[in-house]
Structure 1
Amino acid sequence: MQEKVITFASPIFFLLIALEAFIAMRRQRHAYRVNDAINSLSLGVMSQIINVFLKLLSIGIYVWVAQHFAITTLPADQPWVWLSGLLLYDFLYYWLHRMGHMTNLLWAAHVVHHQSEHYNLSTALRQTSSGHLFGWIFYLPMALLGYPPEVFIAVGLIDLLYQFWIHTQQIGKLGWFDRVFASPSNHRVHHAVNDIYLDKNFGGILILWDRLFGTFIEEQDAHPVVFGTRKPLRSWNPFWANAEVYAAVLKDALSTRRWVDKFKIWLMPPGWQPTDLAARSAPTTFDLQRPEYNPPLRGALMWYCLAQFALGLNITTHFLLSANTAGGVSLVLYALWLLAGFWIIGGLMQQQKFFVLLEAFRIAICAAMVLSSASWFGITALTGTVQACIIAACAACLLALLLIFKTKPHGYLSY
């Protein structure tokens, strides 16, 4: 359900992103960079692809707990059930979100949403691909209290969609609204790396939770917000964006001598190290004035990456709409091909030769599949006309790739 609603809402998201970018330009506040926006949006699309498989974990566990351990079954046709369900979900989301900043295991998933050094509506769509692995634990109270699965899914979607509009710098403070609800001003603070703002304003819809539990701070003119993370990602690789904290914590877990620390480190706050590792580590400082990560992306390469992202986005729509009827093997191969595309776009934006070869290989696989089977990943039969159009598009992509990188000056690309 969630994937389909987000799929159909995507045109509205992109319309609002375009509107925000236009307003920012009119105000001479350049809120967008093409490479950063493509990276954020790619991460969001990838999360939807992977969630097709992981939702069986989170939704399945919720349904099982509700069926076997619920103290009652609440009626799904009563408005008070929906309203109280939304309120309870938002309360539980606050604690999931807060713990997502306080424990390495949950931060490893949530960090993806904070990695962008820009703050705009594309950042709202920058989502983790591993959040469902452990996030379901926080919502089990709803299952135990008897909230039907359809209520849980719907209020979760409402909570998620609400948070889209608060990821903008184009809306200032909103008076009384800021005191009750999560708002653009309140949420800008949450994405800040300034010392004064760290680990504040976790509310999804209501900021009242932060006021109640001591994690609220108001945005202050004396401290302009700086966005990103304290350990900048400095990469457009969406797989590495999802893996970087897991890899760093795992490295420390394997390196520390005490067995208790190998497990404890996953439950400790980001930056914590066991005593033996801390003694060997050089102190690190964070520079608010650090330069942004911004490898050049211009001309034909920029347009190629934009075109491939747009194609990938539209094809992902077909993937999501086909997920419930496609065979398991076909769905996995389809997902891997799509994920490879977004990964390769990141590599091309970093101008690495290896990804040029991978892109050519990915396109060739697509053309060979369509030629040999007259179907799209064994899910949709293709007419002769559609086959010809896909093969022509593949040929055009390969030609564009050749022309773009054949004309790049020596040394422009790196390994």
Structure 2
Amino acid sequence: MHAVLLYALPVFGLCMLAEWAWGRWRGRDGYGLADTLGSLSQGLLSQAVAVVTPLFQTGLYASVHARLALLPGTLWHGAFGIVASVVMYDFCDYWLHRTSHESALFWAAHAVHHQSEHFNLSTALRQESLYSVMGAPFFLPMALLGVPTAQYALAGLVVLFYQFWIHTEHIGRLGWLDRVFSTPSNHRVHHAVNPGYLDRNYGAVLVVWDRLFGSFAEETEPCVYGTVKPLASWNPLAAVGQFYGELWRRARATPRLADKLRVLVKSPGWLPPDVAPQDPPIQARLAQPRFNPPAPRRARLAAVALFALTAAGCGAWLWRADDLGALANLAAAGLLTAGLWATGALLSRPA
């Protein structure tokens, strides 16, 4: 899987470059240097976590499939079987995605993907590090139905790659496609913090799940992107840990054990009765300017150079990761994390 992603990266890069150039030409540049590097950093971190947690990527699925599959794998051969497995994966992903917005502990893992206050193709690569680890059980029904592990992995790649193109502001409404598929218009709604848009349009490929289960909203007003409580940092580790820290503070602030547990399982916005709200009123959040503190030109150039070096090293590591031992992969993941943290630190230097 790592090799497939590495082959896809040049295509992603060219698409981002084309989107940036188109936006500049049309006077609608939706990119910011620090934000883009932050999103790409999260994508690299997610790959590092995938390498060091193979059990939660395909290992758990393969184990359940080998022991508990109810139907023969041959049932899923051919074009029909592949399409069916993609639809099944998309259905399971809908419920994982919805749970990740409706349960605080799952939201803590998923929030990384929503932290960008821009919406462009680089946002698609802002993948969550712990999302696949926590979400692995949601796909086990496919194993029980006999979908082979390799086909499960292929379906996951199809769903992942499909979502790349829908992260853009440069494609408008698409008629009947908006009623069936997840499209840029539908997905802009999903990334917005506008009151009517929050927690809507979870479908990765098909938006029909949202229409069936009451979570659909049409795009009717300009979107304001990000999270209700903005990240306001270029530190990639702060991005991963932001909402976990918030849950820790909420749990410590209430003396009742039952409320400490409710903090984890109830909605991300739920607070114990004795904990005062800290998030700004939603109207104030909608009027808030994007986080974009200026950094010195030299620091920005150094950040670009360091990120390029770190990304190249990450690519070389991912190419050989399957042949390395666990300790070597952990060390490589640590070096990658350090390089990305240093990149964020350079972008955070005051002008």
Q: TM-score range by the shorter chain?
A: over 0.9
What is the CA deviation profile of residues 234-272 of structure 1, one whole-angstrom value per residue up to 9, with x for unaligned ones? Answer: 000111101111111122223322222222221110110
C-alpha root-mean-square deviation of aligned residues, in Å? 1.4
Distance (whole Å) between structure 1 residues aligned to residue 175 and residue 273 of structure 2: 46
Equivalent in the alignment of 1:89: 89
Distance (whole Å) between structure 2 residues aligned to residue 251 and residue 132 of structure 1: 25
1:27 matched to 2:26: yes
1:311 matched to 2:309: yes
1:159-198 correspondence runs (5 A): 159-198=159-198
For the 8 Å contact 1:92–1:138, the answer to whether it is kept is yes
Equivalent in the alignment of 2:270: 272
Compare 267-276 and 151-160 and name the one that shifted more: 267-276
Change (3 A) 1:282 1:27: closer
What is the CA deviation profile of residues 137-165 of structure 1, one whole-angstrom value per residue up to 9, with x for unaligned ones? Answer: 11111011111101110001100000000
1:147-296 correspondence runs (5 A): 147-220=147-220, 223-277=221-275, 280-281=276-277, 284-286=280-282, 287=284, 288-296=286-294
AA partner of residue 149 (structure 1): T
Report the CA distance between 1:217 and its aligned residue.
Answer: 1.2
Change (3 A) 1:166 1:283: closer
Match of 1:275, SS state, is coil
TM-score (norm 2): 0.96
Distance (whole Å) between structure 2 residues aligned to residue 282 and residue 100 of structure 1: 21
Distance (whole Å) between structure 2 residues aligned to residue 43 and residue 299 of structure 1: 23
What is the CA deviation profile of residues 39-87 of structure 1, one whole-angstrom value per residue up to 9, with x for unaligned ones? Answer: 1111111111111012322311111111112212221533222111111
Distance (whole Å) between structure 1 residues aligned to residue 279 and residue 61 of structure 2: 43
Report the CA distance between 1:330 and its aligned residue.
Answer: 2.2
Report the CA distance between 1:282 and its aligned residue.
Answer: 6.1
Equivalent in the alignment of 2:79: 79
- Greater RCO, CA 8 A, separation 6+: 2
Report the CA distance between 1:298 and its aligned residue.
Answer: 4.7
Equivalent in the alignment of 1:384: none
Consecutive aligned runs of 4 or more in structure 1 exceeding 3 Å deviation: 280-284
What is the CA deviation profile of residues 183-202 of structure 1, one whole-angstrom value per residue up to 9, with x for unaligned ones? Answer: 01110010010001111111
Gaps of 5+ in 1: 352-411
Report the CA distance between 1:281 and its aligned residue.
Answer: 4.3
Match of 1:276, SS state, is coil
Alignment partner of 1:329 out of 313, 327, 344:
327
Distance (whole Å) between structure 2 residues aligned to residue 140 and residue 336 of structure 1: 30
For the 8 Å contact 2:229–2:279, the answer to whether it is kept is no
For the 8 Å contact 2:300–2:346, the answer to whether it is kept is no
Match of 2:287, SS state, is coil
AA partner of residue 46 (structure 1): L
Equivalent pairs counted in the alignment come to: 348
Compare 143-152 and 68-77 and name the one that shifted more: 68-77
Report the CA distance between 1:28 and its aligned residue.
Answer: 0.1
AA partner of residue 271 (structure 2): Q
Gaps of 5+ in 2: none
AA partner of residue 310 (structure 2): G
What is the CA deviation profile of residues 123-147 of structure 1, one whole-angstrom value per residue up to 9, with x for unaligned ones? Answer: 0000111112210111111011111
AA partner of residue 326 (structure 2): G
For the 8 Å contact 2:101–2:199, the answer to whether it is kept is yes
Equivalent in the alignment of 2:6: 7
For the 8 Å contact 1:117–1:228, the answer to whether it is kept is yes
Report the CA distance between 1:110 and its aligned residue.
Answer: 0.8
Change (3 A) 1:197 1:282: closer
Compare 298-307 and 157-166 and name the one that shifted more: 298-307
Compare 290-299 and 8-17 and name the one that shifted more: 290-299
AA partner of residue 30 (structure 1): D
AA partner of residue 95 (structure 2): W
Q: Percent of aligned positions with the same letter in both sequences?
A: 43
What is the CA deviation profile of residues 315-373 of structure 1, one whole-angstrom value per residue up to 9, with x for unaligned ones? Answer: 1111101111112222221221111000111011001xxxxxxxxxxxxxxxxxxxxxx
AA partner of residue 200 (structure 1): R
Distance (whole Å) between structure 2 residues aligned to residue 251 and residue 58 of structure 1: 30
Distance (whole Å) between structure 2 residues aligned to residue 90 and residue 133 of structure 1: 17
For the 8 Å contact 1:55–1:132, the answer to whether it is kept is no
Considering only CA atoms, is the larger Rg found in Structure 1 or Structure 2? 1
1:36-75 correspondence runs (5 A): 36-75=35-74
Distance (whole Å) between structure 1 residues aligned to residue 168 and residue 278 of structure 2: 36
Match of 2:56, SS state, is helix
For the 8 Å contact 1:100–1:106, the answer to whether it is kept is yes
